[in-house]
A = this chain, B = another copy of it.
Amino acid sequence: MDENIVTAIGTPNMALIKYWGKREEKLILPMNSSISMTFDETFNTKTSVLFTDRVPEDSFYINGVRQDLSDKDIMERFAIIDIMRRMAGTTSKAVVVSENSFPTAAGLASSASGIAAMVFAANSALKLGLGTKELSIIARQGSGSSCRSLSGGFVKWEMGSKDDGSDSCIRQIAGPGHWSDIIDIVAIVSKSKKKISSRAGMKQTVANSILYKARPAYAERACAEMEEAILKKDFERLGMLMMKDSNNLHAVMLDTYPPILYLNDVSKQIISSVSELNEVENKIVAAYTFDAGPNANIFTLEKYRSKVEELLSNIEGIESTRISKVGNGPRIIDEDASLIDPSTFKIKSG
């Protein structure tokens, strides 16, 4: 087959209404719909993909390290390549090289940006010509929430109802240009690798949290309200909904046995400080959300930005902050930016 190396850039997404729990494990069908904002390229993952018959086996590198394809987590992520190869009707080996601009597995959804870039690049390398919806269905099967990174702007992952997962796909609520003055201040609290994976954690929550039973229906309603808030650019409503959903998520994690505790003392301080600021301002000017880790994402509007940055600068334990606006979704980049050496079919050195 045509052995072209394709490189794409993908970005993470930050869920405003979270995904936590599968109704079907194999296809990764969620218990509820979720909504996110796709990041701009402040945080990004570059991924080069090559399909070739001239190597004996698949290889997958993340941040320069060759991954063990028999490792369960890696295998599930790499299964995407198998799905796409099957669709293209080829048995060529794959070389996939991925590089994050930010720490892996620290609750920053690096897998989402990586998978989005990989799926986007593979679609082109294999000349599948699939659209966003189809690509999101494939990405979902590698890592659920990554599917939301296949589109820019504000994105809803519809839970769907079909057993084959063909309607569990994304839909763009609003494009990247819709709300240009909303920003996400990502506060890095800890770069440490998280102890429990989301995959294992959510399974335990669904299995034994008593309170979790109330979450899916709540999240579904929250999605409907969130979509409205986004379309109306109603920051106060968006902020309230996202904070409540974050609290709700971490509550059901805590109600899991044994409990899953991602928030630490710094996260708590951020929650308190944001709550106090909103109280003082007598309106919601900032809203926090936490994924499966202690890092905070604090959403605000440009006009409140200095206020929020000052607030955060007074919190001990925040290692750094970076700002993302609404991003455009994945894109193919120039051939010369490739991470694969075209002569060795291995990761480029240096």
Contact = CB atoms under 8 A, between A and B. Distances in A.
Interface in A226-253: 240, 243-244, 247-248, 250-253
Interface of A is mostly: helix
Nearest to A257: B244
A215 interface: yes
Given A211-B248, A264-B268, A268-B264, A254 B257 contact: no
A177 interface: no
Contacts of A248: 210-211, 255
A200 interface: no
Nearest to A279: B258
A218 B210 contact: yes
Contacts of A92: none
Contacts of A258: 243, 271, 275
A342 interface: no
Interface size class of A (residues with CB under 8 A): 20 to 34
Q: Which of A250, A254, A265 has the most CB of B within 10 A?
A: A254
Contacts of A240: 257
A259 interface: yes
Contact of A247 (B254, B263, B268): B254
Contacts of A244: 210, 257
B252 A247 contact: no
A58 to B, nearest CB: 35
Contacts of A253: 251
Contacts of A247: 254-257, 259
Given A210-B218, A251-B255, A261-B272, 6 more contacts: A211-B211, A211-B251, A247-B254, A259-B271, A261-B263, A261-B271
Shortest Cβ-Cβ A-B pairs, 3 listed: A251-B255, A258-B275, A251-B251
